[in-house]
Structure 1
Amino acid sequence: MHVVGASMPAEAMRGLYGAEPREFTGRVIPIADVRPRDLLTEEIADGPPALAMSRLVAALERRRRTARPGSSLVSNAVRLVRREPGLITVRSLAAQLAILTRQLERHFLTVLGLTPKHFARIVRFDRTVREIQSAVRLTWSQVALRHGYYDQAHPIREFRGFAQVTLAQYARSLPGAVTSHVYNTDAAVAGRW
């Protein structure tokens, strides 16, 4: 069996598949189950497995060129959240987009199937994970503060919620040694992470 997958922004799903993104949010869906079923599945499956990813990228790129545009309001909001690595408040985001907070929440739920606050938490979590994976040596407190967490308990909860593991468990799973990526001089604190 050969597995090929793609991760894409939820807002791209309407244009690529004509389906509401909220139907896909937080799910892994076999390509054969995506409707309307077209030549994409056969296009990817047809040929040597080693080239399947190249065929998937080419097929998605062709679709992207002819896709209907998504919600420009939500696309702009997503861009702003990513630019501020998940640290922007929903109130500030709504103000920058000249829309009421509740309207912004409704647009996000309709288009992405998530609230803007939940999306911002995901973006912040992603940035935190990427920094932990880097070779930058920081204490857990520094990691928390750099990503807008106000205490060490906050990122612990985020990791458990999103990754189903603690920060320490995640760090230990990284290639090489845990401490080569994230360093904490306080052994008592490190033991709690």
Structure 2
Amino acid sequence: MSKASIVKRVAGIHAKQPWFVLSAAQDFSLCSSDIPEVSHFYGFEADSSASLTLAIPDGCIDILFDCDATSPTAYVCGTTLEATNANFVQQHRYFGVRFVPGVIPDFLNASASEMVNHLLHLHDVVPTCNALFEQVVSAPTFIQQVTLTQQFLKDKSLCSQRKRRFSSLTSQAIEHIFHHKGNIQIKQLEALTGYTSRTLQRQFLSDLGLSPKAFSRIIRCQSAVYHINHQQQVIFSDLAYGLGFSDQSHFLREFKRLVSATPLDYQKRVKHETYLNRIRYN
């Protein structure tokens, strides 16, 4: 696969955690999936010099394995609502699967609201995960971890009785939010769906544990990160306008709260530390 093709495939993954990539000791391994609900798999070793790694809002559920030889653990990580310490341990090897924004797997034994801004022990919410856990934390390569996890997810999908169904209203609203890159108001969602804001709020909270406004805010943040990561020239005033911010100052404040850096500082980090060159697409 050519360098241009790899960059294109990486750019196609919009659920970004840039501080994970920049805190990797060496390569940050990444692999897509043929399971529609899965955004991608990833793996890396935490850099011994990285003092703090942040998770930013992405609207995703991650299953994250700490593959340390002496004390392996695994968590289900819900989306954060602002930049939050990811608590990675230096020199530990990590493997994760990230689901598509807005997807909550059927087999997780927890409500949507319980996962927002929380870490849950994998064994508490997936009691049947013992074999997967033992295999993943001891697998010697990233590709083997991907294969094991993908098979587990496919088996779960085949056995699922689809207990967790999003309403058609939530699914429709999510599509509109994605289409507008998060730049959408609740009044627009009312007009597009034909439902009142009260109904939208109630259904979103039940299905996602988030309000439509909070989910839109997350997707708009991810859209800004995506543009800065993958565009050679970014004019911040144009980006702010295109994403519906009232002015550049509003964009700066929001970006800093959700990403823990100003857009300019973030851009410098991404370019200086060669974000894309760290990623190894498998």
Kindly indicate whether the alpha-carbon contact (under 8 Å) linking 1:86 and 1:124 is maintained by their aligned counterparts in 2: yes
Structure with greater strand percent: 2
Q: Output aligned runs, 1:128-147, within 5 Å.
A: 128-147=224-243
Kindly indicate whether the alpha-carbon contact (under 8 Å) linking 1:156 and 1:167 is maintained by their aligned counterparts in 2: yes
What is the CA–CA distance in structure 2 between the aligned matches of 1:42 and 1:76, rounded to whole Å? 39
For structure 2, which runs of at least 5 residues remain unmatched after alignment? Answer: 1-67, 69-92, 275-282
Runs of 4+ in 1 over 4 A off after TM superposition: none
Kindly indicate whether the alpha-carbon contact (under 8 Å) linking 1:16 and 1:60 is maintained by their aligned counterparts in 2: no
For structure 1, which runs of at least 5 residues remain unmatched after alignment? Answer: 179-193
User: Given the superposition, is the C-alpha separation of residues 43 and 177 from structure 1 closer, same or farther in structure 2, using an over 3 Å criterion?
Assistant: closer
Tell me whether 1:73 sits opposite 2:169 in the alignment. yes
What is the CA–CA distance in structure 2 between the aligned matches of 1:97 and 1:66, rounded to whole Å? 32
Kindly indicate whether the alpha-carbon contact (under 8 Å) linking 2:107 and 2:126 is maintained by their aligned counterparts in 1: no
Deviation (angstroms), 1:177:
7.5
Kindly indicate whether the alpha-carbon contact (under 8 Å) linking 1:44 and 1:55 is maintained by their aligned counterparts in 2: yes
Larger Cα Rg: Structure 1 or Structure 2?
1
Which one-letter code corresponds to 2:165 in the other structure? G
Tell me whether 1:107 sits opposite 2:197 in the alignment. no
User: Given the superposition, is the C-alpha separation of residues 163 and 147 from structure 1 closer, same or farther in structure 2, using an over 3 Å criterion?
Assistant: same
TM-score normalised to structure 1 length: 0.79
**Hey, what does 1:21 align to over in structure 2?**
112
- After alignment, is 18-27 or 37-46 more displaced? 37-46
Tell me whether 1:64 sits opposite 2:157 in the alignment. yes
Task: Deviation per CA, 1:116-171: give whole Å up to 9, x if none.
Answer: 01111111111111001113313211121122222111111111221122222211
What is the CA–CA distance in structure 2 between the aligned matches of 1:97 and 1:125, rounded to whole Å? 23
Indicate the RMSD between aligned Cα atoms, in angstroms.
2.4
Tell me whether 1:156 sits opposite 2:234 in the alignment. no
TM-score normalised to structure 2 length: 0.56
User: Given the superposition, is the C-alpha separation of residues 103 and 130 from structure 1 closer, same or farther in structure 2, using an over 3 Å criterion?
Assistant: same
Kindly indicate whether the alpha-carbon contact (under 8 Å) linking 2:224 and 2:239 is maintained by their aligned counterparts in 1: yes
Structure with greater helix percent: 1
Kindly indicate whether the alpha-carbon contact (under 8 Å) linking 1:10 and 1:22 is maintained by their aligned counterparts in 2: no
What is the CA–CA distance in structure 2 between the aligned matches of 1:13 and 1:156, rounded to whole Å? 31
Kindly indicate whether the alpha-carbon contact (under 8 Å) linking 1:11 and 1:70 is maintained by their aligned counterparts in 2: no
Task: Deviation per CA, 1:51-85: give whole Å up to 9, x if none.
Answer: 21332233223323444152132122111110111
Question: Size of the alignment, in residue pairs?
Answer: 177
Larger relative contact order, structure 1 or 2 (CA cutoff 8 Å, min sep 6): 2
